[in-house]
Structure 1
Amino acid sequence: MSALDALLAAGRAAAAELMREQITLRASVDDGFDWGTGTTTPGTGTVLYSGLARVKPVARLGKEVDAGERNVTLRQYTISVPWDSPAPPERVVPGVLVDVDASRDARLVGLRLWVTGVEYGSTSTAWRISAEDRS
């Protein structure tokens, strides 16, 4: 094992220690609407990854934008997934959904984020995904 490989292994182990959330990455699908009850059922989509992650806000201030007929505040997050996690069955692309299923911070549980970018790299300590909260 080279010095670089040892350093990367230590960095990847340290990054994994910070992963305290459970997330599900899924290919986005349209929500369903039941005209009889007037309720919306979230689409499920294909699960691309389910497991440990670190969900970290990038900036404290959100950006307000108009989306249809309502104001939406966009908040940026970085999702770190273990570098050696299995490759998903489909490529993760902008628009894929990230659901926070469990966290020691109860305020994160139930958070739904939309992927805006993905970073790959052989010398990375984690697989990083850029996402935004559109609430």
Structure 2
Amino acid sequence: MTELDGLLAAGRAAAAELMRETVTIRAAAAEGGFDWESGTESPGTGAVLYTGQARVKAVARSRGEEVDAGEHNVTLREYTISVPWGSAAPPERVVPGATVDVDESPDARLVGLRLWVTGVEYGSTATAWRISAEDRS
């Protein structure tokens, strides 16, 4: 084991300690999506790609941007979801349009939150697998 491997192992263990939520990540479904006419979101029934430990954190620089969707105003809030780096690779790649549901959290306000994946970060020197998502409520 190299010095870098030791540092990465320590960083990954520290990152895992911050993961207090349980989430379910579902693949984007062909029949789901955002209906701009009605301003409603329909996730479809995509396959489950991951269920387990995660950290759900609001992005500090998030603007809470309001957009018009049909006759409704929708506020987009950004989140970062961190999943253990060593977790098994999902059967298919997580791509924008997938959903992340917060199933359990010490913060009761997060439970039931549905987030929409906007990007995914991979890297061999990362301490966690990070997913960018937004709350479209």
TM-score (norm 2): 0.87
Matched with 1:114 is: 116
1:1-80 matches, within 5 Å, as: 1-29=1-29, 30=31, 43-59=44-60, 61-80=63-82
> Structure 2: where are the runs of 5+ without partners?
33-41
Partner of 2:39: none
Q: Take 1:72 and 1:52, find their aligned partners in 2: how far apart are those partners?
A: 29
Secondary structure in 2 matching 1:5: helix
| Paired residue secondary structure (1:55) | strand
The residue that corresponds to 2:37 in the other structure is none
What does residue 38 of structure 1 align with?
A: none
Aligned counterpart in structure 2 of residue 87 of structure 1, from 79, 86, 89: 89
TM-score scaled by structure 1? 0.89
Q: Distance between the aligned counterparts of 1:90 and 1:67, measured in 2?
A: 30
- Structure 2 distance, partners of 1:81, 1:15, is 9
Could you say which structure has the larger radius of gyration? 1
Distance of 2:79 and 2:93 partners within structure 1: 20
Partner AA of 1:18 in structure 2: L
User: Does the CA contact (< 8 Å) of 2:114 and 2:135 recur in 1?
Assistant: yes
Higher mean Cα deviation, 83-92 or 22-31? Answer: 22-31
SS at match of 1:87: coil
CA shift, 1:42, in A, is 6.4
Q: Tell me, in whole angstroms, the C-alpha distance in 1 between the residues paired with 2:109 and 2:25.
A: 19
Measured after TM superposition, the shift of residue 67 of structure 1 is 1.4
1:78-111 CA-partner distances (Å, limit 9, x unpaired): 0000000000011100000000000000000000
Q: How many residues align?
A: 126
In the alignment, the residues of structure 2 paired with residue 68 and residue 113 of structure 1 have an alpha-carbon distance, to the nearest angstrom, of 20
The answer on 1:131 being equivalent to 2:133 is yes
Alpha-carbon RMSD across the aligned residues, in angstroms, is: 1.5
The one-letter code of the counterpart of 2:68 is: D
Paired amino acid for 1:56: K
| 2:28 counterpart SS class | coil
Q: Percent identity?
A: 79
Deviation of residue 61 (structure 1)? Answer: 3.9
